[in-house]
Amino acid sequence: KNLEVIAAIDGLPADKAGVKAKDIITNINGQSTSGMSVDEAVGKIRGPKGTKVKLGIVRDRSEQLNFDITREDIKLPSVKTKIIDGNIGYLQITTFSDDTAKLVNDAANDFKSKGVKAMIVDVRSNPGGLLDSAVSVSDLWLGQGQTILQEKRGNEVVKTYTAQEGGIFSGLPTVVLIDGGSASASEILAGALRDNNSAYLIGEKSYGKGVVQQLINFGNGSQLKVTVASWFRPNGQNINKKGITPDKVIKISDEDAKADKDTQLQSAQDYLKSKIAQ
């Protein structure tokens, strides 16, 4: 099993070094990752602030790259907000942690008090996190009883997650930005809003991680990770290994990236301005 990067989070050491979603980590400080568990790899990649770790990477199955990454203390705010041109609320969620739902709720109340006319939710390069956090955030756009996701074992639905009450953003024109680094909880949010006609998706196809996994510990210290259930979108589609294709596919070219030109965000603004004008 390859060690594959889900997302290099914006502005952090791996991203600054040039690591990208779907890169395969083949060695860490010269040691092959063949047969290495994710936890073991994480232990080798982490280290004291200011020290370096060398990663060997294979990109697009052919290109071999090496990165020297300087470690930093990472204190990651899971939510960033601002109001952009056209009185559009911009909400970037970098991970779904235990404080995300509260931070998004606080932002929602702030946006409402300022009378925003539309919303952009940016979950690009968001590798996921807590399921309950994604469900709570989805709730802000949905009406009571609308399906957020289903958890299935085989063909049997073991749990259905539904919206609890009318959301503060219900009916507000919304774009969700996704890309190849949007995974797991990010895909739950994007799928829930899209399938309930509460958002339009722009960007690139998401990663495709939609399974519930459980660790079984053995007496000899070994572990077995077992997939016990899968996540399905409200429209009945499985997320795992399929991902979510946006309504409008836009790729950021290398030239645009170097020029710091965010064509996906610009497309979202253009789409929402046309909606507001209607």
Catalytic residues: 184, 195, 209
CB atoms near residue 33 (< 10 Å): 20
The HSE-up count of residue 178 (CA atoms within 13 Å, CB side) is 33
Q: Residue 133: how many CB atoms within 10 A of its CB?
A: 25
Q: Tokens 């041109």, residue? A: 85
Residue 183 burial by CB count (10 A; 0-12/13-18/19+): exposed, middle or buried?
Answer: buried
Cα–Cα–Cα angle for 189, 205, 274, nearest 5°?
Answer: 70
* 202 touches 264 (CB < 8 A): yes
Q: Which of 212, 176, 215, 209 is nearest to 194 (CA)?
A: 176
Instruction: Give DSSP secondary structure letters for 158-175.
Output: EEEEE--S--TTTTS-EE
Length of the chain measured in residues: 278
